[in-house]
Amino acid sequence: MGTRNHTGVTDFILMGLTDSAETQLVLSVLFLLIYLITVLGNMGMILIIRLDPQLHTPMYFFLTHLSFLDFSYSSVVTPKTLQNLLTSTKSISYLQCFTQMYFFILYVAAECFLLSSMAYDRYVAICRPLHYPVILSTTLCRALLAGSYVVGFVDSTVVVVSMSTLHFCNTNVIQHFFCDSSPILALSCSDTHKAEIIIFIFAGFSLIVSLSTISGSYLSILSTILKINSATGKKKAFSTCASHLLGVTIFYSSTIFTYLKPKSSYSLGRDQVASVFYTIVIPMLNPLIYSLRNREVKSAALRVLQKREGSKKLKY
């Protein structure tokens, strides 16, 4: 079988989350609802920020692209998962599988560094407010954004190229609901040590560098907040970064649990629960976190709606 090509298989079978038809139906309805909220929430966030001039600031510039990344990596995984839940067709071609894995890693790695850029934005806003417009210039914001996508591109390219050298000669059944690195490593019949090291290095680099930036930013922010004498001032300063801190905590806790561990500790049940959370649930939560806890976004949404209603009245 291995003489046919270097992989030994031309397609894979995604086993999904469960074999129970009733559970599959419940999950398909739940995931469809979550995905619709994800699309509407993230696209709505982008639209509101674009339409309201008062939100044309560095923080909301980054938030626009965070919404885009959440929408993108959810869309890489969720539609195929829904198809597998709703139909008997669970196969995915070798090319489609590695393409899905490539774009998923690209978007997740880019989001890691985008979140660190947002933390730096909050650091400048709280610790150096008088210099905020000068430091967070349009040029720097675009450079930080471009850097996030470049890191995502490099990470995904290196990881997927290393994974593509593996042999899959005994079985083509992936014990997962999408093409992620851990279950594919577990499936391979060749030596995965080199690929594991590459994934660990690049995933570790992205997480450590971005988390170091975030941690350093928030330590400085905490130090600055503690120096504020007024309780109202402390509350106001903390509220400006509470949403981002909550989003960072949710995103990194599930990502670290999934990726920064050796192949030997891979557990199907635990990894699938964590994967569902950060691939399907988190992209839905982020727009809710940043909108419900942000007065500026809610005010902007009201202004956009009022303008729309006003334009309708003028037409009549």
Give the residue among 195, 188, 196 at the shortest CA–CA distance from 169: 188
Tens digits of per-residue pLDDT, 186-197?
A: 888 888 888 889
* Higher per-residue pLDDT: 302 or 19: 19
In a domain, 164, yes or no: yes
In a domain, 1, yes or no: no
Q: How large is the average pLDDT for residues 155-175? A: 88
* Higher per-residue pLDDT: 283 or 306: 283
> With bands split at pLDDT 50, 70 and 90, how would you rate the model's confidence at 263?
low
Whether residue 38 is predicted with pLDDT greater than 90 in this model: the reply is yes
Whether residue 185 is predicted with pLDDT greater than 60 in this model: the reply is yes
Tens digits of per-residue pLDDT, 266-279?
A: 555 666 777 888 88
> With bands split at pLDDT 50, 70 and 90, how would you rate the model's confidence at 265?
low
> With bands split at pLDDT 50, 70 and 90, how would you rate the model's confidence at 154?
very high
CATH for 77: 1.20.1070.10
Whether residue 5 is predicted with pLDDT greater than 50 in this model: the reply is no
Tens digits of per-residue pLDDT, 91-140?
A: 899 899 999 999 999 999 999 999 999 999 999 999 998 999 999 999 99
In a domain, 210, yes or no: yes
Q: What is the pLDDT of residue 180?
A: 87
In a domain, 47, yes or no: yes
* Average pLDDT over all residues of the chain: 84
Give the residue among 116, 303, 126, 106 at the shortest CA–CA distance from 214: 116
In a domain, 25, yes or no: yes
Q: How far apart are CA 75 and CA 286, in angstroms?
A: 15
Number of domains in the chain: 1
In a domain, 2, yes or no: no
The mean-pLDDT minimum among 160-174, 207-221, 265-279 falls in 265-279
- List phi, psi (to 5°) of 167: -100, 140
Q: Look up the domain containing 223 and give its range.
A: 11-315
Q: What is the pLDDT of residue 2?
A: 39
Residue 146 CB coordination number (10 Å):
10
Share of the chain above pLDDT 90, in %: 38
Q: What is the pLDDT of residue 159?
A: 93
In a domain, 157, yes or no: yes
Q: Is the dihedral of CA 163, 168, 171, 172 positive or negative?
A: positive
Share of the chain above pLDDT 70, in %: 85
Q: What is the pLDDT of residue 90?
A: 84
